[in-house]
Amino acid sequence: MAQIYKVNVNTSALKKAGRDTYKENTVIQIGDLKIGGSDVVVIAGPCAVESKEQMLTTAQAVRDSGATILRGGAFKPRSSPYSFQGLEEEGLKILRLTSQITGLPVITEVMDTRQVELVSEYADILQIGSRNMHNMALLKEVGKSSKPVMIKRGMAATIEEFLLAAEYVMANGNEQVILCERGIRTFEPSTRNTLDLNAIPMIKQLTHLPVIVDPSHGTGHWWMVPPLANAAIAVGADGVMIEVHYKPEEALSDGDQSLTPEGFNEMMEGLNKVALAVGKKIASPAMSLV
């Protein structure tokens, strides 16, 4: 991407994340999988790790439909302290086991500086959640990690602040950063958030980092996920992150925005067509062991 168009974003501090620094897109490699290359990456899995059975069933289903990375939270940043908080280290162990069985690399959230070492032992990609995008201590800590980091946009963060969060990680030594647009808070109450698809071409213009879109948290409604996933790829996202649960009505978190494995499979058929229409294809799943 050659020209930087005039925009109302101060890019002077984007010494590593800015387009001025690296003209070529950053491609993050996890085994054979490339994030930010010519293929569309699909991250899928439940909101939270709940059990071995749940993870294995979901992982096998999403892999067979073409997902390339498995998601699942072991440490959950819930709005209420009385809601399910995640299985913590037990959840990380289940994630790792599921990854070994299915061949899918795993992404999971790290909520606190004190968890970075532990989560890094189990995860292939560290996720910084929306609520922690402004946690500079945590950004600095994952900046010292050798694992790729995916930063989710703060729900009230400007694009400039979002990119500065990436700069924090990069300035501390870790240049393997992925950005994730997951919707922002607006005056609109009919959806959980407003998925800001404007952000995708804007971010692509300003940085060389890969950008993923999360239409599950962006909308809060499972039936809105497929059309917004299609739209994300159409506007230039490098991939999508989708919540899938084998029994959404029994999910311990975010069941309303989770697709069933069947719904996910149907979504992938549509996404394939959109990827082809914009000159891309869906990245191939990792080597399956079962």
Instruction: Tell me how far apart the alpha carbons of residues 243 and 225 are, in angstroms, rounded to a whole number.
Output: 9
Contact with ligand PEP (CB under 6 A) among 36, 45, 46, 129: 129
Contact with ligand PEP (CB under 6 A) among 37, 77, 103, 270: 77
175 contact choice in ligand PEP, Mn ion, none (CB below 5 to 8 Å, kind-dependent): none
Indicate the residue among 73 and 105 with the shorter CB distance to ligand PEP.
73
Binding status of residue 181 toward ligand PEP by CB under 6 A: no
In the complex, what is the shortest distance from the CB of residue 3 to ligand PEP, in angstroms, rounded to a whole number? 31
Give residues 137-156 in contact with ligand PEP (rule: CB under 6 A).
Answer: 152
Residue 194 per-residue DSSP state: B
Indicate the residue among 98 and 207 with the shorter CB distance to Mn ion.
98
Binding status of residue 50 toward Mn ion by CB under 5 A: no
Contact with ligand PEP (CB under 6 A) among 68, 85, 115, 130: 130
Residue 131 per-residue DSSP state: G
Indicate the residue among 16 and 139 with the shorter CB distance to ligand PEP.
139
Binding status of residue 254 toward Mn ion by CB under 5 A: yes
Binding status of residue 155 toward Mn ion by CB under 5 A: no
Binding status of residue 19 toward ligand PEP by CB under 6 A: no
Instruction: Tell me how far apart the alpha carbons of residues 179 and 18 are, in angstroms, rounded to a whole number.
Output: 13
Question: Bridge-partner residues for 106, per DSSP?
Answer: 70
Angle at 99 between CA 95 and CA 101, to 5 degrees: 120
Terminal-residue alpha carbon distance, the chain: 40
Instruction: Tell me how far apart the alpha carbons of residues 282 and 268 are, in angstroms, rounded to a whole number.
Output: 9
Helix H or strand E encompassing 121: helix 116-122
Q: Where are the beta strands (DSSP E) in the chain?
A: 28-30, 33-35, 39-45, 69-71, 106-109, 125-128, 149-152, 177-181, 211-213, 239-243, 281-282
Query: By the criterion CB under 6 A, which residues form the site for ligand PEP?
Result: 47, 73, 77, 109, 129-130, 152, 182, 217
